[in-house]
Amino acid sequence: MMRIYSLFILLFLWASCGGAGNGNRADRDEAVVEEDPLVIPDFNADSAYYFVDRQVAFGPRVPDTEAHQLAGIWLAERLGGFADTLYTQETRVRAYDGTTLNIKNIIGVFQPEMRRRILLCAHWDSRPYADYDPDPAYHYTPIDGANDGASGVGVLLEIARLVSETQPNVGVDIIFFDAEDYGNHRFSDRPDEDNWALGSQHWARNPHRLDYDARFGILLDMVGASGATFKREAYSMLYAPNVVRKVWDIAHGLGYNHMFPHEDGGFIIDDHYYINMIRNIPTINIIHQDDNTEHGFFPEWHTTGDTMDVIDRYTLRAVGEVVTKVVYSE
């Protein structure tokens, strides 16, 4: 009896005092609710469109041309104006046909003191051949590369502007790779291995910092055409499936599930392949894939039709909003 009665008194006192610190727990819960919400800056599609248009205005950005040189200077100035630190990595590489190319990777570093980092990248050169043009007369004509090259750079320049104004909780490195599109001509009989993505191959072996590492990377390629569909590229699923899921979940949460379907695409040799293979940074490729074309990409791919006429602000905004939220959710 005594033991039970004592327990009753203790229970009464416990309840009258709020029971096991319920008041303090409520205060803690309220404090959690009052925490600042995640701040994600607004991606400006008009700004990204301007950055795409400005690149295309230089003309085809083929290595060792005047247009390439002038565009490279402009890109370094723009990215350098946003970044805390700018690196320009100049080197010489040999193309599939034996041509020696002078190329330049352009690298913007944001919050260099932070150890947790994300890599964002795109290629800024354009194809020296319109080898899929319906008119054979243009098969050796350089292309503008509005979607194939400039669109990814345009989106990343706008993200660079946002990161310069509103710092995320992670360091960001933005790289514009050169000589991605100087691979085999369609009608060449030379072997097709490792003659694409020459700039990213060089960077992966010689990063701007010897100890460089990142939690993950995202490559943007052909991210500006109307009606774009971004399937889950196969090398991305092989080397970085968790990153694919993260990005696609965010895309679906933003209402872009029609553009980021849960459908598997093909294996594509692109800059991300060498970042995965050589640098061992899990990196994915957001790239337009189309089952209705001969080559599997957007209809104007590697043709003289890859001009500003194919660029759609809605597509730029969708990709930009998704990648921006990925960065600021870390």
Q: How far apart are CA 29 and CA 43, in angstroms?
A: 32
User: Quick check: pTM over 0.85?
Assistant: yes
pLDDT higher at 3 or 174? 174
Query: How far apart (Å, rounded) are the C-alpha atoms in residues 214 and 308?
Result: 33
Q: How far apart are CA 160 and CA 163, in angstroms?
A: 5
171-213, pLDDT tens digit by residue? Answer: 999 999 999 999 999 999 887 779 999 999 999 999 999 999 9
Q: Which domains does the chain have, with CATH numbers?
A: 1-35 (no CATH), 42-328 (3.40.630.10)
- Assign 39 a pLDDT band (cuts: 50, 70, 90): confident
Q: Which among 259, 284, 97 has a CA at the least distance from the CA of 183?
A: 97
Of residues 307, 310, 303, the one with CA closest to residue 134: 303
Q: How confident is the model at residue 10 (pLDDT cuts 50, 70, 90)?
A: very low
184: amino acid identity, one letter: N
40 Rama class: left (phi>0) / alpha (psi -120 to 50) / beta: beta
Decide: 206 and 89 in contact? Cβ < 8 Å. Answer: yes
Q: What is the pLDDT of residue 36?
A: 54
Q: How confident is the model at residue 105 (pLDDT cuts 50, 70, 90)?
A: very high
Altogether, the residues listed in the chain come to a count of 330
118-164 pLDDT per residue, tens: 999 999 999 999 999 999 999 999 999 999 999 999 999 999 999 99
Cβ pair 159, 174 in contact under 8 A: yes
The mean per-residue pLDDT over the stretch 245-259 comes to: 98
pLDDT at residue number 38: 80
* pLDDT tier for residue 15 given thresholds of 50, 70 and 90: very low
The predicted structure's pLDDT at residue 23: 39
For every residue of 209-275, DSSP letters joined together read STT---SEEEEEES--BTT----B-HHHHHH-HHHHHHHHHHHHHTT-TTTS-S-B-----SHHHHI
- Look at residue 1 in the predicted model and tell me its pLDDT: 34
Mean pLDDT of the chain: 91
Q: Which pLDDT tens digit goes with each residue over 211-224?
A: 999 999 999 999 99
Q: Which residues contact 77 (CB under 8 A, 6 or more apart)?
A: none
pLDDT at 13 over 70: no
- The larger pLDDT score, comparing residue 25 to residue 311, is at 311
Give the pLDDT of residue 22.
40
- Tokens representing 64? 């060792």
pLDDT over threshold 50, residue 168: yes
Q: In this structure, what token pair is assigned to residue 215?
A: 């939690």
Q: What is the pLDDT of residues 282-330, one digit of tens each?
A: 999 999 999 999 999 999 999 999 999 999 999 999 999 999 999 999 9
Give me the helices (H) in the chain, please: 2-16, 22-33, 45-56, 66-82, 151-165, 198-205, 234-239, 241-253, 271-274, 313-328
Q: Is the pLDDT of residue 19 over 60?
A: no
Residue 25's pLDDT band, with cuts at 50, 70 and 90, is: very low
Segment 60-74, tens digit of pLDDT: 999 999 999 999 999
pLDDT of res. 6: 35
Nearest to 155 by CA among 327, 325, 326, 317: 317
